[in-house]
């Protein structure tokens, strides 16, 4: 082969690699989107599964790695649940009969809704949720901030 074909091949492979990289980096890994495609929707933010909460939470964690997790079912039984924290969402997997009820909330709504379960473990989310380390993503501002 001559140099012209090698150049065309290298450019083509580079273009395909860039397209694949952009697709992987920009694909939507929103808990809301993935959960809505996997489980049966029963209302705008609630889904159901015939599986036990621990199994459902494991499936979700396997696909979408959370920042943190709280599981209080060992201490609270059917009054507890598994709570998964993401940068902009809180996913709760709660017992429902022999299966599970799954809720997907914004960070602030989920924190407020499940405060009795997660309040001692998680910080209050910032105005834009949590960052990847789990801290509030916005600390405020103005004169004297950070002092």
Chain segment 106-125, per-residue pLDDT in tens: 999 999 999 999 998 998 89
Under the banding of pLDDT at 50, 70 and 90, the label for residue 147 is very low
> pLDDT of 36-73, one tens digit each?
999 999 998 999 999 999 999 999 999 999 999 999 99
Under the banding of pLDDT at 50, 70 and 90, the label for residue 1 is low
Q: What is the pLDDT of residue 3?
A: 81
**Nearest in space to 31 (alpha carbons), one of 53, 56, 51:** 56
Find residue 90's DSSP bridge partners: 85, 105
Q: Is 6 inside a domain boundary?
A: no
Q: Which domain holds residue 53?
A: 29-135
Q: Is 15 inside a domain boundary?
A: no
In the chain, the number of structural domains is 1
Whole-number Å distance between alpha carbons of 121 and 130: 14
Q: Is 51 inside a domain boundary?
A: yes
Q: Is 117 inside a domain boundary?
A: yes
What is the value of pTM for the model shown? 0.72
Q: Is 7 inside a domain boundary?
A: no
Q: Is 18 inside a domain boundary?
A: no
Q: What are the CA-CA distances from residue 140 to residues 14, 81, 84, 122 (Å)? A: 43, 32, 25, 19
Q: Is 90 inside a domain boundary?
A: yes
Q: Is 9 inside a domain boundary?
A: no
């Amino acid at each position: 082969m001559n140099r012209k074909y090698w150049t065309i091949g290298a450019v083509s492979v580079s273009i395909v690699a860039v397209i694949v990289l952009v697709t992987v980096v920009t694909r939507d890994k929103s808990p809301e989107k993935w959960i809505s495609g996997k489980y049966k929707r029963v209302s705008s933010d609630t889904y159901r599964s015939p599986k036990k909460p621990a199994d459902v939470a494991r499936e979700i964690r396997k696909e979408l790695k959370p920042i943190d997790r709280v599981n209080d079912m060992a201490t609270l039984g059917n009054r507890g649940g598994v709570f998964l924290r993401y940068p902009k969402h809180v996913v709760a997997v709660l017992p429902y009969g022999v299966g599970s009820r799954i809720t997907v909330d914004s960070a602030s709504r989920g924190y407020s809704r499940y405060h009795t379960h997660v309040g001692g473990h998680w910080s209050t989310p910032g105005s834009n949720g949590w960052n990847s380390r789990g801290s509030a993503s916005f600390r405020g501002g103005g004169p004297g901030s950070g002092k």
